[in-house]
Structure 1
Amino acid sequence: MKTKIVLLPLDERPCNYLFPQKLFLHDDIDIVLPEKLGDKKIPAGLKEIDSFLTKECKDATGLVISLDTLLYGGLVPSRIHNETEDKLKERLHILKDIRKANPKLIIYAFNIIMRCPSYSSSDEEPDYYEEYGREIHEIGAAMHKSHLGMENTLPLDEIIEKVPEKYLNDYISRRKVNKALNLASLELVKENIVDALVVPQDDSCKYGYAAIDQRDIRKAIIKNCLEDKVLMYPGADEVELTLISRMINTLKGRKPKIYLKYATEAAKSIIPLYEGNMLSGTLKYHVLSAGCQLTEAYEMADIIMAVTAPAGNMEEAINQPSKYPEYYAERNIAEMFDFIKDRLSEGKIVTIADNAYANGGDLQIVRFLNANNLLMEVDGYAGWNTSANTVGTAIAEAVDAYHFGTTERHQNFLGLRYIEDLGFCSMIRQKVVERLPEYGMNYFDVRDKEGKISELVKAELEEFIKNELSSISNNLKILKLIMPWRRMFEVDIDVKYIK
């Protein structure tokens, strides 16, 4: 009989809606999703969500649920809604009803701390963020530093004058409501309605509004002695993979041991781009959140995770190869791969968290794997978006291989990671963006999900497979490619690996 896991995703993007099934759907594991969610700023239907949860959770073994989708209809809607705190708190009662109807259900939830980007763009934020986003971020950072007795480059009063009062009030009031719901979700854990909760820090910085919220929520976690049940760390779009990993580990009664192999020990103390915490601490949270355990001895490990992060400041993938010694001198890639090859020969599960750069993988890594015919010998690879997104995905791939082996679905997902993370994110995205003016388009608007741009991206990726993945190019096929949010940031690809 199949184990049924109900999933309410963070939104309809492939990383949230499709990745969990692509990786974890097996003969004995069924992952059930809503038929439809929202569309970027258009929220999912809340009545439809309630009906879905009520129906599917009655006979399920587990539930992984995004509280942002339950409350607001999705991630982006959580940043632009106008709901009251009281009305949103009422929506949390559905979890109590679900628990009452199925007392044995394992419920893992996550509720993201609202981000405050350091740039001006209304693509995923309120309309006024297009003009005042950077200033709103700077106000938060200055306020936080003032609380800590630190000096800021510009006086707080001077920065506040740059943002119209009505916009700043709207932003702050929404943050206040969202934080209240973050805190309310802790009560669900205290009451044993939710078994475990993750509070991810989405696109976070060391100082600012999001960091202030993190501080206050962390205080509440500590005050209520919930440190073992509520984990807060950088991440967002990988959390579903992490919590399904935890669910499977829990159901199978296993806690895989993971050994971390850094390309440079100095990487442990860096703060990755779009994150506010040191890498070593974040990695510990990700391992724990996935229901795994760190080990200091590789001989004792079930899983080896290679970490490619640099020795200093992280750069964007489109700037590679880096000119800085933190990348080419401090990282010992040769030694790391010598270690990987030996562990593979011993039959260890090996996964690569390629967080050398942000928003794309390290081409040096894939070229070494390709030259040594190791692309499909490793059990996992990820190198997309933030370091946290990458780390969580790489761990999930390893957990899948640990329990189910390198199945056909697993290899399809691994092939997808090379094509998307290295091909699209690191190489093809920027190349196509430069051509968009020819078609009267821009980064945030390519008009259609399936059209000229999706065709162009697919053709470029097929060239990437031929040139950069030559050792498996005859085995790897792109079956479908669309632009799900009609912009250039993400892509939806179906990949088939044929042995």
Structure 2
Amino acid sequence: MAGLNIAFIPIDNRPVCYTLAQQIAAIDRDLALFLPPREMLGDLNRSADINGIFSWLKKLENIDSIVVSLDTIAYGGLIPSRRSSETFEEIKKRMESFFALLREKNTKVYAFSSIMRISNNNINEEEKEYWSLYGEKIFKYSYELHKNAPDTDVKADVPPEIIQDYLKTRQRNFEINKMYLNLSKQGVFETLVFSKDDCAQYGLNVGEAQVLEESIRANALNALVKTGADEIPLSLLSRALAGGRVIKIAPVFTQKDYTNRISKYEDVSVSDSVRGQIELAHCEVADVLDADIILVVNNFKQEQGELVMGVDVEGFDGEIELPQKPYLIADILNANGADNSFVKKFFEKQIDWDKFLGYAGWNTTGNTLGSALCCAIVKFLANNPDEAAFKKVQAVRFLDDWAYQANVRKALKLRFDKPDIEALKTLMQPFEKTLQEKTGLDLTTTKYSYPWNRFFEIEVSV
């Protein structure tokens, strides 16, 4: 992996989408990752500066590959993809200009586009305004419409103009995704991924995914439909780095009898999710004896916990035997945060920093797997590794996924109505001390922020 230059256009400016990619790339001094200035990317309430990103990309030279979140160019980001009022023709014209620019760059393109999600709640923070009144009813309508297809006699307990607007936005995005499939037939993409974000068993989004999958199979296209979203650019970065080499990875589950369970916000089993993420990273599932890397998966038994929604489940109660081969850890016992029991037992072990390839335990199962695998692959392939950079990535992940998401966030929400930086700093200090002892890094100057001014995520700067 010598001297690679990769352009990387994230889906928005959140830390897990922007800075995590930078932090992982820094593990190999020979890997140059180029991102647009962060202020050009969208956030919770602002769309990306699409023209600015065009100008930035035009100026880049000698790029080996580009990893691109197509939603950023098409709509201004993931959240604007659900809110944008632009027409299909307006977006199509912009995307034609973008693909013309990519052809000029003459580089390998690893791209992904989201299949518009349907949240089963009345929270409009990331949706159109009417979701606060009709979100659950729209979800139910979508669920029943797909479940009872081809019978379309399903009534929506929602004002007609609201349903009409929602279906119009869905159809526009679906047509854009079908346009990408046609470009895939022309060989535009090295890899194209359609992401299923926050899935259920049925829904218009699931039906659209099925149509896309059928077209991919019928035309033998180099495209995939995968559960997930935020981690997929990192998965595509893994794929770009692997090149022609296939890394063999053996999953080892803490609850091997429960791998058929389905994680929250996903529509496939844990075992299928793990296999899918390994293969998306252009790696191969292997047994332990043949594997280059061991993937330790701390999975759940009957039900996955959900730390934001207050769903508590029994933590890991076994003993940890760390592999003798290079290994990484995907902590998926909970959605939205680490398993305290597992982390405690892991920290009781002596960490061999040569063998340890990384930890993650944030948001969904797919988010955790894709990001952990990317970090592991960069370190495993690095010709010029930076141990301090790797330890910084681990400090950030444990401070975020374990300290904040599994512990501090809940304590803060009980005491405050809105994010409080000083209280956050104080509550994080004991965790900093633990990680300072494990990593040998000076974490006394660690900085924190709430990038989207909400409790859900923080940014950790080590």
TM category, shorter: over 0.9
Aligned to 1:450: none
Name the CA distance, whole Å, in 2 between partners of 1:284 and 1:34: 32
1:89/1:383 CA distance change after superposition, 3 Å: same
1:284 to 275, 280, 288: 275
Q: Secondary structure at the match of 1:147?
A: coil
Query: Could you report, residue by residue, the CA deviation over 1:443-464 in whole angstroms, capped at 9, with x for unpaired residues?
Result: xxx4xxxxxx122212211123
Name the CA distance, whole Å, in 1 between partners of 2:35 and 2:44: 18
Aligned to 1:102: 105
Name the CA distance, whole Å, in 1 between partners of 2:387 and 2:248: 21
Q: What is the CA RMSD across the aligned residues, in angstroms?
A: 2.1
What is the total number of aligned residue pairs between the two structures? 453
1:95 Cα deviation from its structure 2 partner: 4.2
1:362/1:375 CA distance change after superposition, 3 Å: farther
1:69/1:375 CA distance change after superposition, 3 Å: farther
**Pair 1:53 & 2:60 matched:** no
**Pair 1:83 & 2:69 matched:** no
Aligned to 1:9: 10
Name the CA distance, whole Å, in 1 between partners of 2:33 and 2:451: 21
Name the CA distance, whole Å, in 2 between partners of 1:471 and 1:55: 44
Name the CA distance, whole Å, in 2 between partners of 1:32 and 1:264: 39
1:189/1:333 CA distance change after superposition, 3 Å: farther
Letter in 2 for 1:429: R
2:414 to 412, 416, 434: 434
1:149/1:128 CA distance change after superposition, 3 Å: closer
1:355 Cα deviation from its structure 2 partner: 0.5
1:223 to 209, 212, 218: 218
Letter in 2 for 1:435: R
TM-score scaled by structure 2? 0.93
TM-score scaled by structure 1? 0.86
Letter in 2 for 1:316: E
**Pair 1:68 & 2:74 matched:** no
1:413 Cα deviation from its structure 2 partner: 0.3
Aligned to 2:431: 464
Greater mean alpha carbon deviation, residues 411-420 or residues 282-291: 282-291
**Pair 1:302 & 2:292 matched:** yes
1:401 to 379, 383, 387: 379
Please tell me whether the aligned partners of residues 370 and 470 of structure 1 are also in contact (alpha carbons under 8 angstroms). Answer: no
Please tell me whether the aligned partners of residues 137 and 209 of structure 1 are also in contact (alpha carbons under 8 angstroms). Answer: no
Q: Secondary structure at the match of 1:333?
A: coil
- Give the unaligned 5+ runs of structure 2: none
1:88-167 correspondence runs (5 A):
88-103=91-106, 105-147=107-149, 156-157=154-155, 160-161=156-157, 163-167=158-162
Letter in 2 for 1:436: F
Q: Secondary structure at the match of 2:438?
A: coil
Aligned to 1:360: 337
- Give the unaligned 5+ runs of structure 1: 447-452
Name the CA distance, whole Å, in 1 between partners of 2:87 and 2:150: 30
1:72/1:320 CA distance change after superposition, 3 Å: closer
Kindly, what percent of the aligned residue pairs are identical? Answer: 28
Letter in 2 for 1:181: I
Name the CA distance, whole Å, in 1 between partners of 2:377 and 2:8: 18
Letter in 1 for 2:393: F
Please tell me whether the aligned partners of residues 15 and 237 of structure 1 are also in contact (alpha carbons under 8 angstroms). Answer: yes
Please tell me whether the aligned partners of residues 271 and 279 of structure 1 are also in contact (alpha carbons under 8 angstroms). Answer: yes
1:474 Cα deviation from its structure 2 partner: 6.2
Greater mean alpha carbon deviation, residues 367-376 or residues 177-186: 367-376
1:224-239 correspondence runs (5 A):
224-226=219-221, 229-239=222-232
Aligned to 1:388: 366
Name the CA distance, whole Å, in 2 between partners of 1:99 and 1:40: 28
